[in-house]
Every structure is written in structure tokens, then in C-alpha cells.
Amino acid sequence: MLFLLLSILCSVLIGFVFKLFGRFQIDSFQAIVFNYFTCVICGWIYANDLPIGPGTGDEGKWLPYALFLGVVFITGFTGAALTVRYFGVTVSQIMQKMSIVATVPFAILVYNETTRLGKIIGIVLALAAIILVNWPKHKNESQSANNRLWIPAVTWLLAAIIEITFLWVQGEQYVDPSNVRFISTVFAAAGTLGFAAALYGWSTGKLIYNNKNVLGGILLGIPNFGSMYFLLLSLSTGLEGSFVFPVVNVGIILATTIGATWIFKEKLSTTNWLGVAAALGAILLMAF
């Protein structure tokens, strides 16, 4: 449970860092690119091991999955940004966190994980919590164009693909969780693709380089590395994926919501607070 809590804590810090980007006029895309390279450096400092170099001989098992996840990571961030742009933050958060709708059935069907009544009720309650916590406070808070409905759908799909791929790599024992080369390679692949796009933006004048974007990437990268690494360690302790991902998703929204009301003085509606209560109930039902 310790690794699970650390993964949630790091994920919550990611949300708070993103919230500060707007205040300090940090370009999110450039910060995201530098964040990936920060993650690689974190892996190197932690294990004194880089993605490229002499390995243990098992890279052939997980390398294709790591490279695939790198592509999905950078694409998923782009999809999430487009969802925020056209549909608002609320829809973006809901679509990403509802990835458990695909992840949990996958874990149960493929790896025969338990399907006790408490877990099933907890999953349903978790979905309700995710929607209620993010419910718009005003009717005009989030507007979308009907011809762009594919954007949030793709955002949901990519979030589900990431979680299912992690489950598969862990379940098939393709990677040793104590070896951070897997996570570092995922981040390196995403960072390389992002940096190529950033180079194009800088050369064409569509992006303006600023040192504060690098600083923002560093502040984002440290908890980002921790969230992924601790998530993989959580799966390695014997906790079922159908338990881990719902708890992580609900826990992130719960902790972020409570933290935002205290730190950033955000206001919650009655519906939002009902979502917080539902999230607590969901975690208890799935944990015990």
C-alpha cells in the first residue's frame, strides 16, 4: 500500500504543478518535453542506469512495449490538451480517469482476478465519484462541438491503452520492477518524439524557447517519474490491477480536489462533495 500511496501523491503533485503553469505563463507543451528528459535523469540518478547502454539481456522482452508506450504517452498528452481546448478540463479529466472501465475488465478477464461483490460495487461507485467530483459548477462551464467528439474518445482510449499495457508487461513478467530502465526508456521515447516536434516549432517560430519552460519541465518531471515507478512497484507487490487502478484514479481525484480547496481556495458544489464522499466509499469497498 505504501507504493500505491506514493504513486497517488506524485500524481497529485503533477496536477498542482500543471495548475501553476498558467500563473507563471509556462508553455505546457515545452515543459512536458523537458519533463520527460527529467524523468530519464531521475531514473539514472536512482539506479545509475540509462535506457541506452549495456543491459541485463532481458530488454528484448520489454523494449517494444516501452517504445510503444513512449508514443502513446506523448500522443496522450496531446489528446488531453485538445480535449481541454475544445471541451474543457472537466471532460478531459473524466475521460482519462474513466479508463478503469476498460482496465478493470481486462485484469479480471485476462488474469482471472477476483470479482467479489464489494469490488464490483466499488468500481461502479468509483465511476460515479469521478463524474460527480468533476461535475460542472455552471451550465456553461464546458462546451463542445459535435464534430469533435472523437477527441475525448481518443483521450479515453489512450489512457486505457497505457494502463492495460502496464498490466500486460507486469502480468507476463516481461520486466523486473526493480529495473528502472523500462520506465526510463518509455520516458526517453516520449521525450525524443516531443523534442523533435519542439525543434520544428522553434525553427518555424510557432514556439518560443524560454528557460522557465525548462524549469517547469524539471518540476513536473520529478513527480511524474515517481508516479509511474511507484505504480509499477505497486503491481509487483501482489496487489491486483483491478484494485490498483481504480484506487489510484479515485485517489488522485479525491486528493487533488481536497488539496485544491485548501491550497488554491477552489469552490466545490454540493454535487462535487457528494463525489468526494462516493470516492471514499469506493476506496473502502475495493480495499476491504
User: Where residue 49 falls among pLDDT bands split at 50, 70, 90?
Assistant: low
Which pLDDT score, from 0 to 100, does residue 144 have? 45
Residues 6+ apart with CB under 8 A from 265: none
pLDDT 10s digits, 58-113: 677 888 888 899 999 988 877 876 776 676 555 666 677 777 778 878 888 888 87
Which pLDDT score, from 0 to 100, does residue 256 have? 76
C-alpha cell at 218: 524539471
| Angle between helix 150-171 and 59-87 (nearest 10) | 160
pLDDT 10s digits, 122-135: 888 888 887 887 67
pLDDT mean over 134-160: 70
Mean pLDDT of the chain: 81
Of 93, 96, 94, 90, nearest in space to 141 by CA = 90
- Indicate whether 43 pLDDT > 60: yes
Which pLDDT score, from 0 to 100, does residue 72 have? 93
Q: So where are the chain's domains? A: 2-47+58-287
